[in-house]
Amino acid sequence: MRILTLLILWLCLSQQLLAQGGVWTWMKGDSVVVNTISLGNYGTMGVTAASNEAPGRYHCTYWQDTSGNFWITGGQIFNVGPLNDLWKYEPATNMWTWMNGAQITSNINGVFGTQGIPSTNNYPPAYGLTGIGWTDTNNNLWLQHQRGDLWRYSIATNEWTWMKGTGGFAQPAVYGIQGVPNMLNTPGGNTESKACWTDSLNNLWLYDDGNVWKYDIASNMWTWIKGGGAGPVTANYGVLGIPAMSNQPAQGASFNYWQDKQDRFYIGFSAFTISAFWRYDPATNMWTWLGGTAGVGINHGRNYISQCVASSDRYPGIRIEGRGANYNTQCEEEMFWFCAGQDNGYYNDLWVYKPSNNTWTWVAGDSISGVYGNYGVQGVPASTNKMADRTGHAMWVDKYQQTWVFGGIARGSTSRGNDMWRFTPDMNCLGILIDTFQLYPPADTMLCYGESTQMYADSNFNISVSPGGGVNYNADSTIITFNPITTTTYTVDAFVNALCPNPRQITFTIVVIDEPMPLFTDDTLCVGESAMIALDSTYTYQFQPFANVQYQPGDDEAIIQNAVSTTYTVTAIKNGCIVRDTAYFTIHILPDPIAAFTISPPFAPIDNAVFVLSNQSQNAVSYAWYQGSTFLDNTIHYTYTASDTGKICFQLFAYNALQCVDSIEHCAEVLPTSAIFIPNAFSPNGDGVNDVFKLVAKNISLLSFKIFDRWGEEIFSTDDIRFGWNGKYKGKDSELGVYFYLVEYSDILGKHFLKKGDISLVR
């Protein structure tokens, strides 16, 4: 997946990047463009996640805890406001955790609580330009707030404690008597000052605008140690390299600070017009001017010459809001790192100072301002990568002498970046010999199940790895291969040489991504219906077959429409890893119902209007009979008796097991009753009453109407119901008497009838 071994990195460093002094890696955050603001992603407080991103900020306070994790709080976002959120970054996992405080500017006033009492509800007010931070030897974080309040944060309990100060704005300094601690003493509020140190006795030291302060944690008291107090400070450089009680740095803001193993403190290249570099020794209470330009505003003091060349006459020079950091280990030569800042433009240069010989080395970056850099691919070191210029950022150095830089103003006066960079130096550029061998974790500590990762191990040293599971190492090799099947924390020890008998040790966690396959269940559909398959959108899925599947990565559902039953195979990817399991599910297609029925008879007279509806549907399990909009019944078959004549229509709805439905309609007709009346006498005398012998009929079809005399002679015939016999034959009146009739007709259903009878003619 992402296996980049440290062997490859070392080969790149030693063979390809010597002139560059090392290699940059864009580790986290957004790539900054001009005038952009990165608001980050807070996630859930206290929960570490790869998607978490600290918002970009300018002038935050930053710490490094005793476990090597990085911390930030405060600072400001242009046109948004000051911040008071607290974040932790773990270099081993490359992940942020929002630990405390408010999101963005949701509560800039903070929560003070009761002074001296820790609480998970407490956190400092938001601040924009400064704030001074220490890590004590008990792994607590300390903050001298811009207002002048002193706060302590316990990493173990995630609690802030308001320790000293009034809580008001711009609290004035109270100096007291120099060298004498007092409960009332305080450095007060500060502007543009970040020089602070923690000595081996767990005292907190502060340099602010020409004055040196010490804070005793046990007594909760400040002591003004050195400086001119509230009055103006006059610089006294003395003799270069010679400590003296009268030596004094010039008054001004300080941004860069370092500390050596002898508890001596360093500042330099800090103020707006001062490029000097100083050391302060608490044991003697004396300053020493070590380098740079004496005086104010003489020149910028920058002297680059060439990279990877150590010299006592080369300096970063004046640098507003640049940053310095160092990490001292037992068996290494001390090195102080300096990075970027501004002076007539923003810079991206990186320097190293060695107190052992008072030399500076320009290691990486450019000698000009306004360099936009090149981000490359996040997480991938490359010789073409270059950090963009910046100022007011945060900076750390880890135990591998790798430099880390976060945020600040980058690529424009209103940009607030949240990009995290790591610089891995070329040890040749730093003049580090092989006996300063370091252990570096694998470049890739997040693996998919079944993958492996590697780290470099010098075969000249004795290496031990614990636990041993998932590890492959041969003493003759330079590579340790890790292929754990579950997330495992490894400790690697290396015995270096006689000058440093204690083993070098590194502990790191290899996270094995072995996500479970989400569950899929079978479904049954009617023909033409679509199955909506709910999905966990954090996975990317592949369906086989795919022809009838509507899905794009990131969707929270897949839509499947099939004409026939189909079994699907599902594979998935999450966090760049293929999920081990394979899922199967079947979409069953239930045949549609086919509604069908017959009506018997198709028509019937009203006096016997009984219709039998015979169901002949297929693929159905339930039914509903309707006559018009009137529900009749839900039986399989139905018998209906009509009460009115005319056309009558029936609907049958047939349902399958999924209630998919089909319907059909058939009609029948209810006919009126057929009737015929034949009189038995008539009197054709011209009086207008009963003069014609006619049939009286309803709903019949007359086929023939005939009259015969007593001798059987036909004297009248018609097939039109409208006509009758007028009592004449051949134009003459017929005799009185009895005559015979024969009527043939069919009723409304087409049934034939024959009626015979006699009729009396009277006058």
Whether residue 397 contacts residue 404, with contact meaning beta carbons closer than 8 Å, is answered with: yes
Q: Are residues 257 and 306 in the same domain?
A: yes
The residue that leads in pLDDT, 296 or 391, is 391
Q: Are residues 380 and 345 in the same domain?
A: yes
CA distances from 663 to 112, 597, 641 (A): 74, 10, 22
Q: Are residues 264 and 283 in the same domain?
A: yes
The mean per-residue pLDDT over the stretch 415-422 comes to 87
| pLDDT for residue 549 | 94
**Domain limit, last residue, from 671, 704, 720:** 671
Domains in the chain: how many in total? Answer: 5
Beta strand 661-671 with 603-605 is parallel
478-513, pLDDT tens digit by residue?
899 999 999 999 999 886 544 444 567 889 999 999
The mean per-residue pLDDT over the stretch 720-735 comes to 92
Rounded to a whole number of angstroms, the CA Rg of the chain reads 50
Whether residue 224 contacts residue 213, with contact meaning beta carbons closer than 8 Å, is answered with: yes
Return the beta strands (E) in 74-169 as ranges: 76-77, 81-82, 86-90, 95-100, 132-135, 140-144, 150-154, 159-164
CA distances from 116 to 4, 17, 165, 332 (A): 48, 52, 11, 39
Q: Are residues 33 and 114 in the same domain?
A: yes
CATH number of the domain residue 642 falls in: 2.60.40.10
| pLDDT for residue 12 | 37
φ, ψ dihedrals at 533, nearest 5°: -95, 110
| pLDDT for residue 11 | 36
How much of the chain, in percent, has pLDDT values that exceed 70? 92
Q: 460: Cβ–Cβ under 8 A, 6 or more apart, which residues?
A: none
Q: Using the predicted structure, report yes or no on whether residue 761 has a pLDDT greater than 60.
A: yes
Q: What's the burial of 79, exposed, middle or buried (CB within 10 Å: 0-12/13-18/19+)? A: exposed
Angle CA 648–651–657, to nearest 5: 165
CATH number of the domain residue 355 falls in: 2.120.10.80
The mean pLDDT value of the chain amounts to 88
Rounded Cα gap, residues 512 and 485, in angstroms: 7
Rounded Cα gap, residues 307 and 709, in angstroms: 148
Q: Are residues 329 and 402 in the same domain?
A: yes
The verdict on residue 257 lying in a domain is: yes
The mean per-residue pLDDT over the stretch 173-185 comes to 96
φ, ψ dihedrals at 495, nearest 5°: -80, 120
Rounded Cα gap, residues 548 and 559, in angstroms: 8
Q: 414: Cβ–Cβ under 8 A, 6 or more apart, which residues?
A: 35, 37, 78, 79
Q: Using the predicted structure, report yes or no on whether residue 371 has a pLDDT greater than 50.
A: yes
The verdict on residue 475 lying in a domain is: yes
φ, ψ dihedrals at 15, nearest 5°: -110, -35
Give residue 717's domain range.
675-761
Whether residue 219 contacts residue 181, with contact meaning beta carbons closer than 8 Å, is answered with: yes
**Domain limit, last residue, from 485, 509, 533:** 509
The mean per-residue pLDDT over the stretch 371-383 comes to 92
**Domain limit, last residue, from 509, 542, 568:** 509
The verdict on residue 183 lying in a domain is: yes
Q: Are residues 267 and 132 in the same domain?
A: yes
Amino acid in position 405:
V
| pLDDT for residue 157 | 97
Q: Are residues 579 and 725 in the same domain?
A: no
Whether residue 395 contacts residue 456, with contact meaning beta carbons closer than 8 Å, is answered with: no
The verdict on residue 187 lying in a domain is: yes
Rounded (10°) CA dihedral 534, 539, 545, 546? 80
Whether the ω angle into residue 355 lies within 30 degrees of 0, i.e. cis, is no
Q: Using the predicted structure, report yes or no on whether residue 340 has a pLDDT greater than 60.
A: yes
Q: 686: pLDDT confidence band, cut at 50, 70 and 90?
A: confident
Q: Are residues 154 and 202 in the same domain?
A: yes
The mean per-residue pLDDT over the stretch 120-129 comes to 93
The verdict on residue 13 lying in a domain is: no
Q: Are residues 296 and 192 in the same domain?
A: yes
Lowest mean per-residue pLDDT among 269-283, 440-454, 595-609: 269-283
| pLDDT for residue 13 | 37
How much of the chain, in percent, has pLDDT values that exceed 90? 65
Q: Are residues 264 and 399 in the same domain?
A: yes
| pLDDT for residue 324 | 92
The mean per-residue pLDDT over the stretch 207-232 comes to 93
Q: With the C-alpha atoms ordered 495, 466, 578, 515, is the resulting torsion angle positive or negative?
A: negative
The mean per-residue pLDDT over the stretch 446-466 comes to 86
CATH number of the domain residue 527 falls in: 2.60.40
Q: 411: Cβ–Cβ under 8 A, 6 or more apart, which residues?
A: 32, 33, 34, 36, 372, 388, 389, 390, 417
516-561, pLDDT tens digit by residue?
999 999 999 998 889 999 999 999 999 999 988 999 999 999 999 8
Whether residue 148 contacts residue 189, with contact meaning beta carbons closer than 8 Å, is answered with: yes
22-38, pLDDT tens digit by residue?
999 999 998 876 667 78
628-683, pLDDT tens digit by residue?
899 999 999 999 999 888 899 999 999 999 999 999 999 998 888 887 889 899 99
Q: 298: pLDDT confidence band, cut at 50, 70 and 90?
A: low
